[in-house]
Amino acid sequence: MSGRYLSFTEREDLAIWRAQKIGVREIARRLGRNPSTISREVRRNASTRTWRLEYKPSTAQWHAERRARRPKEARLATNERLRDYVQDRLSGLVKTPDGRAVGPEGSRWKGRNKPHRGDRRWVEAWSPEQISQRLPVDFPDDESMRISHEAIYQALYVQGRGALKRELVACLRTGRALRVPRSRSRQKAWAHVTPEVMISERPAEADDRAVPGHWEGDLLIGLERSAIGTLVERNTRFTMLVHLPREEGFGIIPRTKNGPALAGYGAVKMKDALAATMSGLPLHLRRSLTWDRGKELSAHAVFRVETGIPVYFADPHSPWQRGTNENTNGLLRQYFPKGTDLSRWTAEEIEAVATTLNSRPRKTLGWKTPAEAFNEHLLSSLQKAGVASID
């Protein structure tokens, strides 16, 4: 057996320590196992042929090997009463008090996930855990009416354990045709966002907008995975738009897991496009960049090395932390409405939109335009550089 299970040597040590009246937690510590593993081992694999339960290593090993034999016949395949109970709780119809079934008919199951924006059949839809935990309540004296929630999931998803009809997966709340691997469910949605790049670490000078050079950024998303990058300077509200053309092969090469990002805003393409847009700015006008938590900027560490611009990420579901950018995106939607293909616009065309926005006078700037306010900072930097060169 693998290291996941207790070995015969460990069972011998366990029996000796049990005879010495050593506690479960101390035994677990000595064996490097979880205390619940030891407790379960003593309870399940003890000898049952003596007048009291006694743990013997040879008997425990025999019990463990017997349980490990495969294939085992699924309980739902041999117990028709249990199978009917499970199926009724999964797929039983929703009925009125007079017994009349209600709800939409729903689409026929085709081996895929639940219908997108379509009706689903109304059913009881108990979860496997609810079914498993309710059985002892409904059948307190019938030990044959017991099953774990994992066994129900396996009967639905694992081919060859199919005591339940495969289409019953549509009755689960998620309606997934395939079960999500446990490793994927443990993945972090924002693994690229580490504590040192959270917005709380951003310099305090960026908060009051007194110092220019702190930017906010995001994506405008359009039809068929098209996008335009937006950058807004917090002090002057000056806007720059980032052209993100699609890669060659988009719409032709089938999408593959971990394959190339052809939509135009993969991590590498986004990093390169932002670097090309911001590298031409004077150093004092590129102090920081605050971004949404999207994966498109997961190459932020490389971006910082190449440009010297530190990147910070807003907290989850906190658009107000990038309020200037969110407001600007709302203005830009007049030119780039939702549900339209943004890839049809050239870099020159989106630059014209940015110029139009930067030419509007703003109340918050004393009716100056963002272009005028930004130009003042550019001129001041040139004057300082001139003075320094004369000295």
Where are the chain's structural domains?
8-68, 75-185, 195-388
227-233 and 239-243 strand pairing: antiparallel
Please, are residues 229 and 273 in contact by the beta-carbon 8 Å criterion? yes
d(CA 308, CA 311): 10
Average pLDDT of the chain to the nearest whole number: 85
Lowest mean pLDDT among 190-194, 213-217, 228-232: 190-194
pLDDT of residue 173: 83
Lowest mean pLDDT among 7-16, 177-186, 363-372: 177-186
Expressed in percent and rounded to 5, the helix, strand and coil fractions of the chain are 45, 10, 45
d(CA 23, CA 27): 6
pLDDT of residue 120: 82
Task: Quickly state the pLDDT bin for 391 (edges 50, 70, 90).
Answer: very low
pLDDT of residue 383: 72
pLDDT of residue 389: 41
Q: Which residue has the higher pLDDT, 255 or 208?
A: 208
Please, are residues 199 and 321 in contact by the beta-carbon 8 Å criterion? yes
pLDDT of residue 160: 58
Task: Quickly state the pLDDT bin for 49 (edges 50, 70, 90).
Answer: low
pLDDT of residue 304: 94
Containing 36, the helix (H) or strand (E) segment is helix 35-44
pLDDT in tens, 275-317: 999 998 999 999 999 999 888 998 999 999 999 999 999 998 8
Average pLDDT over residues 100-125: 79
Please, are residues 170 and 284 in contact by the beta-carbon 8 Å criterion? no
Distances from the Cα of 37 to the Cα of 7, 60, 70, 136, 390, angstroms: 13, 13, 22, 24, 78
- Give ∠ CA 236-237-238 in degrees, rounded to 5: 85
pLDDT in tens, 226-254: 999 999 999 999 999 999 988 776 666 66
d(CA 57, CA 15): 6
Would you list the DSSP string of 275-289?
A: HHHHTTS-GGG-SEE
pLDDT of residue 27: 93
Class for domain 195-388, per CATH?
alpha beta
Lowest mean pLDDT among 30-39, 74-83, 169-178: 169-178
pLDDT of residue 1: 45
- Checking if the pLDDT of 212 tops 70, the result is yes
pLDDT of residue 52: 63
Q: How far is Cα of residue 301 from the mean position of the Cα atoms in its chain?
A: 21
